[in-house]
Amino acid sequence: MLDSVRLRLTLWYVGVLSAILIAFSVAIYSFAERRLYERVDTDLYSTLTAISAALKHQGGNGEIAGPAAAKVVQELQRPAQAIAIFDAQGKLLAEHKTADGVRVRLPPSGVASLPPTSFYSLPEQNPESDDSCRGLVGRMHMQTGTSPYTIVINQELEPVEQNLDLLENILYVLVPATLILAGLGGWFLARRSLQPVAVMSARAQQINAENLDERLPIGNPRDELGRLATAFNELLARLGSSFSQQRQFMADASHELRTPLSVIRTTSAVTLEREDRAKNEYKAAVTIIEQQARRLSRIVEDMFLLARADAGHPSLQITRFYLDEVVTEITWAASVLASQKNVHLAIPSPPEAPFQGDEGLLRQMMWNLLDNAIKYTPKGGAVRVALAVLDTEYVVTVADTGTGMPAEVQPRIFERFYRADKARSTQGSMSEGGAGLGLPIARWIAQAHRGRLDLQHSSKRGSIFVVVLPRTGLSAAQAAE
């Protein structure tokens, strides 16, 4: 039962409300009790004041006789109060009982030891007597130098206790009833509030890899549950996109792998059809098989690198080196291919650029960019490589004078297995036919080093790719993130 959010919310709601109601009830009871006892004390003190004034009026010669005291008590009597007047020797001059016949009760210690004006409280003498009272003792002098008279007034506390008992009974009934109603209301509200969650849960259980286009219902997109459903739907959209990319990746990979395998299988089959082939025919067949095997190996290595990058395990080997040396060496290596194609490749003389990162991956990035530039530059064209050192960044530029790319395909050139010109993708190059993985791998390498790779410009007069890397390089801790 406690696994239910609805029950936990209800229990929390009832628990908090219980604490508030109990504290409020205690405060109300304490306030009512204090106010009722203060009213009793006020009544006692007003009676004492009135009796003192009346006695002074009666005792003009400084003494009060019993009849005069009795007359004062008779005139100022109250049904709930018992009154007694004593002279200086402790003789009772006058007394008045309550309407229930209860007489004045003196404190156990007597009145002589009490201050001139003091209150006291006495409990019931037995459970059936109902004679608990609040008392007030006051002393007065008729004239200066005369002996004091003592006035004792008791007021019944039974009405006060009855009112407090009534308030207590009301609170005992009201608080549990309120908690029960609040619990039922909280349960109902929690059920209504969490109903969309149950609906979303049921719908989410029906979604799998085959129907990722399904979405959770959104009642109110502005409340918390609506925002949760919106976030979940966005997650489903991203998952759907990822699944689509994975399916497309698998389809493209299968297609790319099938081509060299088909060439290898066909070449082998044709070569083995006859046993008396010339040596040069076998050599040509083996050459074709070797070229396709190298292309197949390159595709598999690229796919393996991308797979490790997607899984978050690129295994970067962080070392200190000079980026200008990497750019120069890769440019010299690519010049061989450029000369075969009659493409002029400018050998840079870059400024010194110390860097920290994965030297092997950065070499592969530069190799892929130069391979791509030379591949799509016609004979007689040129490829230019430049390295600039800025305040916080290194900027590597690879520009060619090729035919460029149409504007509609430029946003997709960094997609895996995408090739703007598939007819030219199988032409000879340093990668033995492109598979559409060179630019995606190059961009990932730049991003893995906290940099970026972008197509800055592409038109009929050529294309410009720009790599921006931070001068701080990449630490081992950052590579592990």
pLDDT at 432 over 50: no
430 — pLDDT class (breaks 50, 70, 90): very low
- Amino acid 1: pLDDT: 53
Give just the sign of the alpha carbon dihedral 314, 209, 211, 417: positive
- pLDDT above 70 covers a percentage of the chain that reads 88
Residues 15-35 have a mean pLDDT of 93
Burial class (CB in 10 A: 0-12, 13-18, 19+), 224: exposed
Token look-up 């005792």 returns 59
Structure token digits, residue 207: 């979604």
Q: How confident is the model at residue 428 (pLDDT cuts 50, 70, 90)?
A: very low
Average the pLDDT over 64-81 and give the result.
Answer: 82
Q: For position 255, what pLDDT does the model report?
A: 64
Alpha carbons 167 and 33: distance in angstroms, whole number: 10
More confident residue, 329 or 57: 329
Q: How far apart are CA 80 and CA 101, in angstroms?
A: 10
How confident is the model at residue 452, as a pLDDT? 93
Looking at this protein, which amino acid is placed at residue 439?
L
Q: Residue 312: its pLDDT value, please? A: 62
235 closest CA partner among 204, 264, 261, 260: 204
d(CA 142, CA 56): 6
C-alpha closest to that of 177 among 13, 26, 21: 21
> Do residues 83 and 73 touch, judged by C-beta distance below 8 A?
yes
CATH of domain 224-307: 1.10.287.130
Q: Strand 382-389 and strand 344-346: pairing?
A: parallel
d(CA 357, CA 348): 21
pLDDT mean across residues, the chain: 83
68-78 burial, b at 16+ Cβ within 10 Å, e below that, comes to bbeebbeebbb
Place of tokens 């959010």: 5
Q: Which fold has domain 5-164?
A: Beta-Lactamase (3.30.450)
Reported as type and span, the H/E element at residue 52 is helix 5-58
Tokens read off for 201: 């849960």
Tens of pLDDT, residue by residue over 240-253, are 877 777 776 677 66
The domain ranges of the chain are 5-164, 224-307, 315-480
Lowest-confidence pick of 52-56, 181-185, 447-451, 475-479 = 475-479
Give the residues across from 462 on adjacent strands.
459
CA distance 338 to 379: 9
pLDDT digits (tens, 9 = 90+) for 295-320: 788 777 777 777 766 666 566 788 99
pLDDT over threshold 80, residue 65: no
pLDDT, average across residues 219-235: 84
Assigned CATH for 315-480: 3.30.565.10
